[in-house]
Amino acid sequence: MIIALAQTKGGVGKTTLAVNLAIERVIRRHRDVLLVDADEQGTATDFASLRGERLGGTGFTLVQLTKGTSVRTQIPTLREKFDDVVIDAGGRDSGALRAALTLADIAVIPFQPRSFDVWTLDKVASLVADAKLVNPGLRALAVLNCADPKGQDNAAAAEALADNPEIAYLDCPIGRRKAFPNNAAIGLSVFEAGQPDAKACQELERLADHLFTTPLSTQ
Ligand SMILES: Nc1ncnc2c1ncn2[C@@H]1O[C@H](COP(=O)(O)OP(=O)(O)O)[C@@H](O)[C@H]1O
Ligand SMILES: [Mg+2]
C-alpha cells in the first residue's frame, strides 16, 4: 500500500501525519515501512535523524526523493521491498507531489475547514484529476487535522467536500493535540511518550486502520 500525504499548502500536518502513520504501522502492525520524504523542506528527514540519534534506529527506512523523476523511477522498485510506503509530499505544486500522486493507492489530504485550506482543495483536486489519467485507481481522501475538539468542524468539513468531484471526506478527524508537536520535537510518535495522549493515539489508530486495513469508508 502506498499512502501519500499530499497538499500544496504547508503547515497542514502532512509531515506530522506521515511520520505518525509510518510509526503506527511499525509499532502496532510490525510492518516493514518505507517513509519517503518528497518535500524539499526535509522535515521528515530531520525528524528521522533526530529519532535515529535518540533511539539508535528509526524502526522504518527513510529515503529523500524530492525530484519528480526520482520519485517516479525509484518508488516502483522500492515498493517491492516494503510492506507499506508512506510519502510526505508537497508544500507546493511540485514535480515530486505530482509524481507521488501517479503512484499512490491513496492520497491523504490534511486540511482544516475553517481556514484557507478549503480553497486549496480545488487546486489539489485538479492535481488528483491529472494523476488519475495515469493512475485511475487513486483515491483522494481529505482528513481533518487540528480539528475542533467539540466536533463542529466535522460538519463543516463534510460540507466543504460535498461538491468536490475528486476528493472524498474521510471521517477520521485528528484533533489539535499538544502530543503531536511535543513528541515530534524529540523524535517520537504520539504512541511513544512516557504517558501517551490516549485521544491522540486513538485518533491516529483509527485513521491508520481506515487507510491501511479496513475497506475504505467515506462520507
Ligand atoms: N493534530 C495536530 N495537533 C497539534 N499540532 C499539530 C497537529 N498537526 C500538526 N501540528 C503542528 O502544526 C505544524 C505544521 O505541521 P506539519 O506536519 O509540519 O505540516 P506540513 O508538513 O503540512 O507543513 C507543526 O508545528 C506541527 O507540530
Ligand atoms: Mg512538512
DSSP H/E element including 119: helix 117-134
Residue 216 falls inside a structural domain: no
CATH number reported for the structural domain that contains residue 197 in this entry? 3.40.50.300
**Ligand 1 atom at minimal distance to the Cα of residue 147:** 1
Look up residue 6 and give its three cell numbers: 499530499
Closest listed residue to residue 189, CA positions, set 205, 173, 175: 205
* Atom 15 (ligand 1) nearest CA: 13
Model pLDDT for residues 3-23, shown as the tens digit of each residue: 999 999 999 999 999 999 999
Residue 59 falls inside a structural domain: yes
Residue 219 falls inside a structural domain: no
Model pLDDT for residues 152-184, shown as the tens digit of each residue: 777 878 888 888 999 999 999 999 999 999 999
Residue 189 falls inside a structural domain: yes
What does the alpha-carbon distance between residue 43 and residue 37 come to, in Å, rounded to a whole number?
A: 8
Residue 100 falls inside a structural domain: yes
Neighbours of ion ligand 2 (CB under 5 A): 14-15, 43
Residue 145 falls inside a structural domain: yes
| Cα-to-centroid distance, 161 and ligand 2 (Å) | 23
Residues in contact with ligand 1 by the CB-under-6-Å rule are 7, 10-16, 43, 91, 145-146, 174, 176-177, 180-181, 184
> 59 vs 16, 19, 114, 141, 167, CA distance in Å?
16, 11, 36, 27, 32
Residue 215 falls inside a structural domain: no
User: How large a percentage of the chain has pLDDT more than 70?
Assistant: 96
**Domain that residue 75 falls in:** 2-210
Model pLDDT for residues 62-108, shown as the tens digit of each residue: 999 999 999 999 999 999 999 999 999 988 899 999 999 999 999 99
- Ligand 1 mutation pick, 9, 12, 16, max ligand atoms within 8 A of CB: 16
- In total, how many domains does the chain have? 1
